[in-house]
């Protein structure tokens, strides 16, 4: 960490829907908190929107018109299309890009990070290392950039957070001083943060709930009703706990009662894009890739890719756990089996 008299500078690596909502929070917080620089940079993957560069639109109108329209960003948040320039003098790096882009971003940032910088990942997804073993996104970033990482996960539909609806989130952090410091930059009177040290379980919850959301969306697409969706959420939670316990035996049960656990699972199965696209997948018969392109306006899906990774890892490790819901979501997304086969999970479910 930088010395206490230095003003800690924050960089958001990412400027999508969630990145922009969090930029609003951090941009406002650093203007009232002691010890932080007012200047916040936000890395923008440059694109042209209605004939203008998105980074220039954000800097002139203080609004991310593509990914978070209708929400004003603080004027001290500066959009920067050059990744290395945006991040190289930051003390706190907030990673908030779809997980698909993490390896490319880390490769570009390697060697350009300020000594003593710390990172926090808001990314809900998983990675695999060169040996094909599961790797947390926070681990990928930590090992690639040689910085300590924390994670922030929770029931946080970005637009609702940006509209200042009451929300909670879980900060997974192994170092209590870093946890307190990070809590300060994210906390507001409408965004409540709880710090826990069960980092791995917090991050895994954030990634795995997207797979359950796909199952919830398939059920919605088949008009199966609320009771069936509740059963899917329950089974999904049991399977999430089973996967997490198998991979991280020291993980704690109480973590599931944090915002990152049950709460995020519920919100994502009702209000998230993974649910929405999965419903459309059943109703229209179009591919997930086509629906992602047609319906998400540049936003990315995380659930199907996470289902695929988990399936491959469980297969490779020959795990002795039963996760029929996770397997069905993978098979529906990638092997062309009928969404109706999801109903088969009800005859083979495991219990807590
Ligand atoms: N949106 C939410 O409600 C929400 C809430 C909590 C967590 N999250 C998580 O936050 C993470 C980021 O999601 P988001 O919603 O901010 O993003 P998003 O899906 O809204 O936007 C996609 C982003 O990716 C960028 N991009 C496209 N191609 C790129 C490339 N090649 N390299 C780098 N960036 C590229 C786009 O410019 C855009 O900023 C995800 O892991 C998501 O699961 C999202
Ligand atoms: O829109 P989703 O499905 O990516 O979910 C958004 C958030 O993760 C909910 O907390």
Q: 98 and 212: one domain?
A: no
Flag whether 190 is in a domain: no
Does residue 99 carry a pLDDT above 70?
yes
89 is in an annotated binding site: no
Q: How far apart are CA 207 and CA 14, in angstroms?
A: 18
Please give the pLDDT value at position 170.
98
14 is in an annotated binding site: yes
Q: 134 and 268: one domain?
A: no
Boundary (domain end) residue, out of 136, 152, 168: 152
Flag whether 180 is in a domain: no
Flag whether 280 is in a domain: yes
Question: What's the mean pLDDT when you consider all of the chain?
Answer: 95
Q: What is the whole-number distance in angstroms between the Cα of residue 156 and the centre of ligand 2?
A: 7
Question: Percent of the chain having pLDDT more than 90?
Answer: 91
Check 24, 66, 209, 328 and give the catalytic one: 209
Does residue 321 carry a pLDDT above 80?
no
Q: What is the CATH number of the domain that holds 283?
A: 1.10.1040.10
Q: 110 and 209: one domain?
A: no
Q: 23 and 148: one domain?
A: yes
Flag whether 162 is in a domain: no
Q: How far apart are CA 299 and CA 333, in angstroms?
A: 18
Q: 109 and 230: one domain?
A: no
Flag whether 192 is in a domain: no
Q: 120 and 220: one domain?
A: no
Boundary (domain end) residue, out of 122, 152, 182: 152
Q: How far apart are CA 47 and CA 82, in angstroms?
A: 12
Say what the pTM is.
Answer: 0.96
Q: 337 and 225: one domain?
A: yes
pLDDT in tens, 8-22: 999 999 999 999 999
Boundary (domain end) residue, out of 119, 152, 185: 152
Backbone φ and ψ for 43, nearest 5 degrees, come out as -70, 125
178 CB near ligand 2 (under 6 Å)? no
Flag whether 288 is in a domain: yes
The strand pairing partners of 132, in sequence order, are none
110 is in an annotated binding site: no
Q: 30 and 118: one domain?
A: yes
Number of domains in the chain: 2
pLDDT in tens, 199-251: 999 999 999 999 999 999 999 999 999 999 999 999 999 999 999 999 999 99
Q: 319 and 226: one domain?
A: yes
- Please name the residue whose Cα sits nearest to atom 38 of ligand 1: 16
Q: Of all residues in the chain, what percent are helix, strand and coil, respectively (each to 5)?
A: 50, 15, 35
Q: What is the CATH number of the domain that holds 112?
A: 3.40.50.720
Q: What angle do CA 238, 168, 103 make, to 5 degrees?
A: 70
Flag whether 255 is in a domain: yes
Q: 13 and 148: one domain?
A: yes
Please say if 209 is a catalytic residue.
Answer: yes
Flag whether 212 is in a domain: yes
Contacts for 291 with CB less than 8 Å, ≥ 6 apart: 277, 280, 281, 284
Q: Which domain holds residue 331?
A: 204-347
Contacts for 111 with CB less than 8 Å, ≥ 6 apart: none
- ipTM for the complex? 0.98
Please give the pLDDT value at position 3.
47
Strand residue runs (E) in the chain: 8-13, 36-43, 48-49, 52-53, 77-80, 92-95, 118-121, 126-128, 134-136, 149-153, 167-172, 191-196
Q: 220 and 89: one domain?
A: no
Q: 148 and 214: one domain?
A: no
């Amino acid at each position: 960490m930088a010395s206490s008299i230095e003003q800690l500078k924050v960089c958001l690596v990412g400027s999508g829907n969630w990145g922009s909502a969090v930029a609003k929070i951090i941009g406002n917080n650093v203007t009232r908190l002691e010890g932080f620089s007012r200047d916040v940079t936000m890395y923008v993957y440059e694109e042209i929107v209605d004939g203008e560069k998105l980074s220039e639109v954000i800097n002139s109108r203080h609004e991310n018109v593509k990914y978070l329209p209708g929400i004003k960003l603080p004027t001290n948040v500066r959009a920067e299309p050059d990744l290395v320039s945006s991040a190289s003098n930051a003390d706190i790096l907030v990673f908030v890009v779809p997980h698909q882009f993490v390896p490319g971003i880390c490769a570009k940032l390697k060697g350009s990070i300020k000594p003593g910088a710390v990172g926090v990942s808001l990314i809900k997804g998983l990675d695999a290392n060169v040996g094909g073993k599961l790797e947390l996104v926070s681990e990928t970033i930590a090992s690639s950039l040689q910085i300590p990482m924390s994670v922030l996960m929770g029931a946080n539909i970005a637009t609702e957070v940006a509209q200042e609806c009451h929300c909670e989130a879980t900060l997974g952090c192994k170092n209590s001083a870093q946890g307190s410091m990070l809590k300060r930059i994210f906390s507001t009177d409408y965004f409540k943060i709880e710090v826990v040290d069960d980092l791995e379980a917090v991050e895994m919850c954030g990634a795995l709930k997207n797979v359950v959301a796909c199952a919830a969306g398939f059920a919605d697409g088949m008009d199966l009703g609320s009771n069936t969706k509740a059963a899917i959420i329950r089974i999904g939670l049991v399977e999430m706990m089973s996967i997490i316990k198998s991979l991280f035996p020291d993980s704690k049960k109480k973590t599931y009662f944090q915002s990152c656990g049950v709460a995020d699972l519920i919100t994502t199965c009702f209000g998230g894009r993974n649910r929405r696209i999965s419903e459309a997948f059943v109703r229209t018969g179009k591919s997930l890739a086509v629906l992602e392109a047609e319906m998400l306006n540049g936003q990315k899906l995380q659930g199907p890719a996470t289902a695929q990774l988990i399936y491959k890892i469980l297969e490779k490790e020959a795990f002795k756990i039963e996760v029929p819901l996770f397997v069905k979501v993978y098979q529906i997304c990638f092997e062309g089996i009928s969404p109706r086969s999801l109903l088969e999970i009800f005859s083979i479910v495991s219990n807590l």
